[in-house]
């Protein structure tokens, strides 16, 4: 006695529904992956290429009512912008924040700025730079 097979003959009735679902998932996955890579590339380009002004804190000197901050600013020639600096007290409370403008044709600017504080500041932190 032989047992009957439950499988259909190979290639006789076309693709099974599982094969069609697998192919659809592969196509949808590929389209989503390409879209995600395109989006990441676009954000990366605008983050790197459109960054016309950047800076770093070289040193700072805390005082009773102000903090002297030495900034080194790098920017495109002719770009105008500002950098935001803040100072915090020993307990972490913010005691001063200000925007400092950087205009002109130079691409590298070393400048010492004075950040006024409401109480003695113990830090000087560059929050960011923006064009405009």
Taking a C-beta distance cutoff of 8 angstroms, is the pair 95, 88 a contact? yes
pLDDT band at 19 (very low <50, low <70, confident <90, very high): confident
Give the predicted TM-score (pTM) of the model. Answer: 0.61
Q: Tens of pLDDT along 41-77?
A: 988 877 666 657 889 999 999 999 999 999 999 988 8
Q: Tens of pLDDT along 114-125?
A: 999 999 999 999
Q: Tens of pLDDT along 95-115?
A: 999 999 988 788 899 999 999
Could you tell me the fold of the domain covering 53-131? Immunoglobulin-like (2.60.40)
The average confidence (pLDDT) of the chain is: 86
One-character DSSP codes across 32-45: HHHHHHHHHHHHHH
Comparing 90 with 8, the larger pLDDT belongs to 90
Taking a C-beta distance cutoff of 8 angstroms, is the pair 55, 47 a contact? no
Cα separation, 70 vs 112, whole angstroms = 4
Cα separation, 34 vs 41, whole angstroms = 11
Taking a C-beta distance cutoff of 8 angstroms, is the pair 51, 21 a contact? no
């Amino acid at each position: 006695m032989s047992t009957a097979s439950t499988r259909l003959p190979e290639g006789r009735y076309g693709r099974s529904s599982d094969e069609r679902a697998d192919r659809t998932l592969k196509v949808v996955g590929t389209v989503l992956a390409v879209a995600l890579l395109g989006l990441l590339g676009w954000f990366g380009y605008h983050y790197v290429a459109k960054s016309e002004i950047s800076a770093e804190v070289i040193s700072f000197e805390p005082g009773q009512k102000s903090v002297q901050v030495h900034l080194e600013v790098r920017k495109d020639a002719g770009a105008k912008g500002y950098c935001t600096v803040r100072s915090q007290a020993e307990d972490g409370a913010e005691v001063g924040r200000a925007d400092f403008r950087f205009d002109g044709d130079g691409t590298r600017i070393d400048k010492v700025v004075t950040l006024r504080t409401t109480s003695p500041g113990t830090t000087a932190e560059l929050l960011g730079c923006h064009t405009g």
